[in-house]
Structure 1
Amino acid sequence: MAMQVALKTNSLATTPTPVRTTPGAASPVARAEPLDKTRRTAPVFPEAALLSRRPLRYNVQLNQQLTAVQKAEDYLSEAENQLLVLRHQAMRGNGDEQAATVNSLLQQRSRLSGGTVDRNFNVTLQQKSKVNFTLPGMEKVLEQTPGETLVFALGGSKRELAAVAIPAEATPRQALVHLNVGLGRLGIHAALGGDGSAVFQVDEARWARVSQHLSVRGEGQQFPADAFTLLAPQAEASREDEISQIGGRWERGAGGKLQQTLEQITRERGKLHQHQERVSSRIQDMATAYSPREALETSRALSSALAKSGNQYGLLSKALAAQGNISLSTVKNLLG
């Protein structure tokens, strides 16, 4: 007669279910206490209080934000101080030396601010500083033409090429879309201004190359086909340009421009202070809120959980070993 065994397979723990055997068979081996009860009484590990809400506390991104904010604040603070000195000395007629100091500070803006302040003294923490410019001669491309294929070349340290096919009778907006497809490969983006003219934009880090080494070749309609034509991008006037033109002598209108720049710096520094407060609040939120007593209680609970884990592991190991010793014939009978 084949031996029949009743097993419960919904848990790793064995249960005290009676085992039917033939007369004269060996008595069943005593089983260990159920593991389910042990698991129910054991504390969940790790406890919620032991888990940090934000494990990466002072991570790389936060450090970069702190560094960017500090660089922007340092540069704007220095620029504000130097501009105040320039106004004071220029009004007295002896501002030549201070004007040279201010111009030197403006020329080193990208390096000193780490790229966090643009040409208009706007803080750019989350994005790169941009330069808006126009391209004299490109307005013809936006007019409805028979169509032309243009090849743009950007020289400098390395030569980059981009081809643009302007379809025949394209509207200005359609032509602009095609321009963006090609010029986008050179890091240049175009948009229509309020007066319908094209305004181009590029990262300030690439402006030096674009302003000196951007050329185009056409098919003999808008641009010659036998050679590249060097373009002359014109950057939009910025507050930085206005300040650099003030010089040491106080001329009419200089006071208004300088005052507007100082007000712009004040606004941007106010934004930085708000950002610093948010970062400080974030750091405090990530800090551990345990008192010394709570820390001691938590460490004791952790020690107790670790001490009990060895016993639980032993019981589980015995249960697995018991199930692993079931004979092959028993398994076949169970599977049918």
Structure 2
Amino acid sequence: MLPATTGSTSTTSPSHALAAPAQRGLLNASGDALSPGAQRAAWSGGAEAAGLATQASSVAVATPSPSTLAPTTFAPTPLRGDDAAPAAREPGAQGQVGRLQQGLDYLDRLAASMQQLKGGLSATLARQAEPTAALNSQVDQLRQLWSQRSRDAAGRVDGDLQTAPQDGASRQRFKLRGLDLSVLEQGGRETLRLQLPGQSQDGGSGKPVAIAVTLDGEGTQQQLQALAKALSPAGLTVQTQGQEIVFSVSESQWPALRDGMTLRGEGKRFPSGQPVRALLDPAPEAMQPQRWDLKDAAGQRLALGQLLQAQPKLAQARERLSEQLDAVASRSASGLAPAQAGALADTLSRSLSGAEYTDVGALLPALRGMHRDRVRQLLAG
């Protein structure tokens, strides 16, 4: 987690010296002033940012193949008649299908917009020409699509184009500036007090959530578990990424958490006294079209590089959402999970293998009128 003042990005080396004037100046730096490459460098040591620039410059003048990530049309088949009945009996199945279809539709529209803009950028760079009105219009369209991602994709994909769990919503990953694994192992015993903005069931503001967790400077794994346990009731998760501690929260909770989370320590790792605003560094997004400046070739190459890196992620996200949709539709159509269907078939087989004529005769009336297609649907797995 991070000590606080105001601001949002960059990773600092945490210790009690965070209160020093020079470091306070660093913490106050505006996150908006950082370039996309600098943001990714803060998260991944700069390797990804360097690779992006190299890849973008090397392919800038190449004319894209029309077949590259050609957008496909998704035409989901609604559940009707007999197939709809099991889905109605399964709580939330129809809602899951609807959200997954919405997510796939969004990815299809985003893929088409990205492909069109990629072709326009490549042609402009090849001609060494000024951006045309058509190219600027394509950028505006993509910016609008990207800004509406969370709503239009029904929470199925996050800012890095990673798919959400089938039973959950997309999440925002972030770091708390001033807290990493090395900090957990030094500084002695200290109680960290956090206050998180509350959220009501209707999405409005609720009662703030106060959390206290003790860092003892011993046993990194045990302290991580204690931190995860303390934050879990507030909907936050804790993971590690190298020497970094990465938190995540539902995207719907992120704006309030980013602007309203405060912390207070005991003067060892974090400042004592009055609570101060925690500085949360969000994970870089797959692309940042709102920051693109296409007036010169350098800006055009940067935009093209981000598009090239984002396209495989989008294709993978679409594949995963399709798999999730197939799984939900399969469960809805069969009425029984594969394990349940198999268990039922085994039970019938064992029961009838040694049955007398009278036993079979008692079973026949119950099976009268049951068609073969219905049995296959029942046992489908």
Interval of TM-score (by shorter of Structure 1 and Structure 2): 0.5 to 0.7
Counterpart of 2:275 in structure 1 is 228
Q: What secondary structure, in the 3-state scheme, does the structure 2 residue paired with 1:164 have?
A: strand
What letter corresponds to residue 203 of structure 1 in structure 2? S
**2:137 aligned residue:** 97
Match of 1:184 among 232, 248, 252: 232
Aligned to 1:152: 194
Distance 1:269 1:212, change over 3 A: same
Query: Normalising by the residue count of structure 1, what TM-score does the alignment of the two structures yield?
Result: 0.61
> How far apart, CA to CA, are the structure 1 residues paired with 2:177 and 2:259?
14
**Offset at 1:266?**
2.2
1:203-226 deviation line (CA, Å, top 9, x unaligned): 211111221111111223222332
Deviations 1:90-132 (A, max 9, x none): 3432322322221121111111111112112233233221222
Give 2:307's aligned residue. 258
CA distance in 2, matches of 1:277, 1:134: 35
CA distance in 1, matches of 2:114, 2:252: 25
SS across alignment from 1:155: strand
The answer on 1:198 being equivalent to 2:245 is yes
Q: What's the offset of the Cα at 1:152? A: 0.1
CA contact (8 A) 1:96 1:247 kept: no
User: What is residue 115 of structure 1 aligned with on the other side?
Assistant: 155
CA contact (8 A) 1:86 1:99 kept: yes
Give the alignment's TM-score, normalised by structure 2.
0.55
| Residue range with higher mean Cα deviation, 128-137 or 117-126 | 117-126
**Cα displacement string for residues 61-115 of structure 1 (whole angstroms, at most 9, x for unaligned residues):** 3212220221011100110111122223334323223222211211111111111
CA 273–138 in structure 1, closer or farther in 2 if over 3 Å, else same: closer
Give the gaps of 5 or more residues in structure 1.
1-51, 287-296, 300-336
Q: Does 1:56 align with 2:86?
A: yes
- Is the Cα–Cα contact under 8 Å of residues 87 and 94 in structure 2 kept in the other structure? no
Q: Over aligned residue pairs, what C-alpha RMSD do you find?
A: 3.0
**Separation in structure 2 between the aligned mates of residue 55 and residue 100 of structure 1, nearest angstrom:** 44
Structure 2 residue aligned with 1:175, among 204, 214, 223? 223
One-letter amino acid of the counterpart of residue 186, structure 2: Q
- Tell me the SS of whatever aligns to 1:175: helix
1:205-216 correspondence runs (5 A): 205-216=252-263
CA–CA distance in structure 2, aligned partners of residues 53 and 85 of structure 1: 39
| Cα distance in structure 2, aligned partners of 1:264 and 1:97 | 24
- What's the offset of the Cα at 1:161? 0.8
Cα 1:214–1:279 shift into 2, 3 Å: closer
2:133 corresponds to 1:84:
no
2:167 to 126, 139, 149: 126
For residues 149 and 268 of structure 1, what CA distance do their matches in structure 2 show? 40
For the pair 1:73 / 2:104, whether they are aligned, the reply is: yes
* Deviation (angstroms), 1:174: 2.8
> What is the deviation of 1:248?
4.0
Q: Could you say if the C-alpha distance between residues 58 and 227 of structure 1 is closer, same or farther in structure 2, counting changes exceeding 3 Å?
A: same
How big is the shift at 1:264? 2.2
Task: Please list every run of 5 or more consecutive structure 2 residues that lacks an aligned counterpart in the other structure.
Answer: 1-81, 125-130, 199-204, 336-367, 371-381
**Percentage of pairs with the same residue:** 25
- Counterpart Cα distance in 1 of 2:312 and 2:265: 46
Structure 1 residue 245 corresponds to structure 2 residue 291: yes
* Alpha-carbon contact 1:144-1:171 (below 8 Å) kept: no
Amino acid at match of 1:245: R
CA distance, structure 1, for counterparts of residue 83 and residue 113 of structure 2 = 45
On the 8 A contact 1:160/1:186 being kept in 2, the answer is yes
Q: Per the alignment, do residues 283 and 192 of structure 1 end up closer, same or farther by CA in structure 2, a change over 3 Å counting?
A: closer
String of CA shifts for 1:264-300, please: whole Å, max 9, x gaps.
Answer: 22233233444445555556546xxxxxxxxxx839x
Equivalent-residue separation in structure 2 for 1:271 and 1:188 (angstroms): 24
